[in-house]
Amino acid sequence: MSEIDNTEDEKPLDFIREQIRTDLEVGKHHKIVTRFPPEPNGYLHIGHAKSICLNFGVANEFDGECHLRFDDTNPAKEDQEFIDAIQRDVKWLGCNWGENVYYASDNFDQLYDYAEHLVEAGKAYVDDLSAEEMREYRGTLTEPGKNSPYRDRNAAENLDLLRRMKDGQFDDGTHVLRAKIDMASGNINLRDPVLYRILRATHPRTGDSWKIYPTYDFAHGQTDAIEGVTHSLCTLEFEDHRPLYDWFIENLPVPARPQQYEFSRLNLTNTVLSKRRLTQLVQEQRVSGWDDPRMPTVSGLRRRGVPPEAIRDFVSRLAISKTEGLVEAAMLDHCIRDYLNEHAVRRMGVLRPLKLVIENYPEGESEVLVAVNHPGDETAGTRMVPFSRELYVERDDFMEDPPKKFFRLGPGREVRLRFAYFVTCTDVIKDASGDVIELRCTYDPETKGGNAPDGRKVRGTIHWVSAAHAIPAEINLYEPLFEEPEGGNSQDFLENVNPNSVEHLSGCMVEPSLVESTPDTAIQFERTGYFCRDKDSDENQLVFNRTVGLRDSWAKVKNRT
């Protein structure tokens, strides 16, 4: 059962949940069964997460079960790597299929028997038209198709040909098995759709035992029926396939009658959510792989430090409806920030270090100061942070000629060093080309912990690390992979890839406690953003990925609409 809790009880039920409730009330079903049916030809993305949380969510809410089903009918594109990644990602999202993991390929024998059943009933035939001819014969949205010259073969001849297709007696592409429905149908899906094609490809599970493979349309509904799925939830592009889905169920001796329902898929601004396009980004090495932190894949989001709870929160806010829309990526960021603000431990890390020397702090000495791990959560405890005469502060926290409202460091200005002391900048040291390379300061020993006994105030508080104790790190700052909101959806999406989607910083300095962080530790670098350690980084070279910045642009978006 899924661990997803649906806390928003007051939310009205969407049309799918309404349907399920009715079906249970009128006794059409006593237990509902849903399924999430990925094709293992790529990694899961955040759009899939919507489908996963819907399928596992309703199963959980209505005391049913949700199957994980691999729709593995096209071995030309499928791979064990994808099967493994999908299982890992679904689990990581918090969904649990228990014993119920299935493969469409487990039913290859049964599906083939169904095909023979249709042939014997005169409802399917073997066609010898080439792919191109078939396209011509199919007609268009405005013109009916025409019958193939092979359409009226008798059942015995069809059966013989089908068996020989199965036995591998024909070359790939020379014959297909088609349903005999209606070449003049207004719905192109009903114009004698292909049920089986010849394909010599090694299947990850059935190896080389099959020379013919069922199409998605033929496999999907029957597999639903075999598994006892009651509610087959899919995205709107399958709406026009539903009459075909129903035709198979009506014309085959299937053990159950599943019903298909369609909902709108998730589209996100500045993002591409088409598996074909994501595959292209990976294959053309526009990204480092499926789990590149800029990818909208579950693995990519994870590597960027997005917690599963934030993804679940995000998808639970999406409408389950019949209307396609484009959701602002800022809303996803908002959900991530919302969760991390509450759960990320606070640490200090300096992205672009500038040395700061405290002239009146004794040389060679150091002390440890207490720092709180989370300002809003006492139970998160405290840690010790080393402090000494030489520190690093953020280059951006100093201006030589600051405007009035700049409440950070400038010549003669006093600021608070977080958890430490007040310091005043007394001198600025530059290199030969005039760049500031060091700040000289004095500190007030009376202000330990960040407060002055005389009640004097400072407006600014900045973060820092002790130069002698800090650990060097590399930090990746990510921006959306597409600058334009529609960039990922445009025809020439590859040309819209943001060339500045990652900024790689080296020579960053972080506080020593971060050696212990793991890729699953959510960290807020104070005043900077949320980060996590990259999964490929080790103690010798710490690498952090920025999950999301601190500023919430969703509030702005929301106010605009």
State yes or no: residue 483 binds ligand ATP (CB under 6 A): no
Say if strands 542-548 and 523-525 run parallel, antiparallel, or are unpaired. Answer: unpaired
Least distance to ligand ATP, CB of residue 89, Å? 12
State yes or no: residue 39 binds ligand ATP (CB under 6 A): yes
Q: What's the distance, Cα to Cα, between the start and end of the chain in Å?
A: 38
Using the minimum distance from each CB to ligand ATP, give the nearer residue, 245 or 530.
Answer: 245
- What is the spatial distance between Cα 10 and Cα 174, in angstroms, rounded to a whole number? 57
Residue 21 and residue 13 in contact, taking contact as beta carbons nearer than 8 Å: yes
CA angle (191, 196, 201) in 5-degree steps: 140
Using the minimum distance from each CB to ligand ATP, give the nearer residue, 48 or 138.
Answer: 48
Residue nearest to ligand ATP (CB): 47
Of the candidate residues 2, 43, 48, 112, the single one contacting ligand ATP (CB under 6 A):
48
Least distance to ligand ATP, CB of residue 47, Å? 2
Using the minimum distance from each CB to ligand ATP, give the nearer residue, 138 or 275.
Answer: 275
> b/e map of 347-364 (b: 16 or more CB within 10 Å)?
bbbbbebbbbbbeebeee
For the chain, the farthest-separated pair of C-alpha atoms sits apart, in whole angstroms, at 102
State yes or no: residue 47 binds ligand ATP (CB under 6 A): yes
State yes or no: residue 275 binds ligand ATP (CB under 6 A): yes
Footprint of ligand ATP on residues 145-174 (CB under 6 A)? none
Least distance to ligand ATP, CB of residue 241, Å? 11
The residues annotated as belonging to the active site are 39, 265, 275
278-281 contacts at long range (C-beta below 8 A, 24 or more positions apart): 278/42, 278/43, 278/45, 279/41, 279/42, 280/494, 281/481, 281/494, 281/497
Residue 316 and residue 53 in contact, taking contact as beta carbons nearer than 8 Å: yes
Least distance to ligand ATP, CB of residue 59, Å? 14
Q: Nearest CA to 323 among 262, 260, 238, 241? A: 262
Please identify, among the stretches 44-52, 119-127, 205-213, 499-507, the one whose residues bind ligand ATP according to the rule CB under 6 A: 44-52
Site map (CB under 6 A) of ligand ATP, residues 189-228, x = contact: ----------------------------------------
Least distance to ligand ATP, CB of residue 514, Å? 36
Q: Nearest CA to 328 among 536, 520, 12, 558? A: 558
State yes or no: residue 234 binds ligand ATP (CB under 6 A): yes
State yes or no: residue 37 binds ligand ATP (CB under 6 A): yes
State yes or no: residue 110 binds ligand ATP (CB under 6 A): no
Using the minimum distance from each CB to ligand ATP, give the nearer residue, 72 or 397.
Answer: 72
- What is the spatial distance between Cα 542 and Cα 394, in angstroms, rounded to a whole number? 19
Of the candidate residues 161, 183, 273, 298, the single one contacting ligand ATP (CB under 6 A):
273
Please identify, among the stretches 88-96, 203-211, 267-275, 286-294, the one whose residues bind ligand ATP according to the rule CB under 6 A: 267-275
3-state secondary structure of 427: strand
State yes or no: residue 265 binds ligand ATP (CB under 6 A): yes
User: Could you identify the residue written with the tokens 């909101």?
Assistant: 485
- In the structure encoding, which two tokens stand for residue 243, read together? 């009459």
Residue 465 burial (CB < 10 Å; 0-12/13-18/19+)?
buried
Using the minimum distance from each CB to ligand ATP, give the nearer residue, 274 or 424.
Answer: 274
Residue 20 and residue 33 in contact, taking contact as beta carbons nearer than 8 Å: no
Using the minimum distance from each CB to ligand ATP, give the nearer residue, 489 or 528.
Answer: 489
Q: Nearest CA to 165 among 206, 213, 103? A: 213
Of the candidate residues 51, 260, 466, 547, the single one contacting ligand ATP (CB under 6 A):
51
Task: Residue count of the chain, please give it.
Answer: 561
State yes or no: residue 67 binds ligand ATP (CB under 6 A): no
Site map (CB under 6 A) of ligand ATP, residues 447-476, x = contact: ------------------------------
Please identify, among the stretches 43-51, 139-147, 240-248, 433-441, the one whose residues bind ligand ATP according to the rule CB under 6 A: 43-51
- What is the spatial distance between Cα 356 and Cα 354, in angstroms, rounded to a whole number? 6
Using the minimum distance from each CB to ligand ATP, give the nearer residue, 205 or 265.
Answer: 265
Using the minimum distance from each CB to ligand ATP, give the nearer residue, 327 or 462.
Answer: 327
Residue 202 burial (CB < 10 Å; 0-12/13-18/19+)?
exposed
Using the minimum distance from each CB to ligand ATP, give the nearer residue, 37 or 193.
Answer: 37
Least distance to ligand ATP, CB of residue 264, Å? 8
The 10 Å Cβ neighbour count of residue 404 is 5
Q: What are the angstrom distances between the C-alpha of 147 and each of 173, 174, 178, 185?
A: 19, 18, 12, 12
Q: Which residues bind ligand ATP (CB under 6 A)?
A: 37-39, 47-48, 50-51, 234-235, 265-266, 273-276
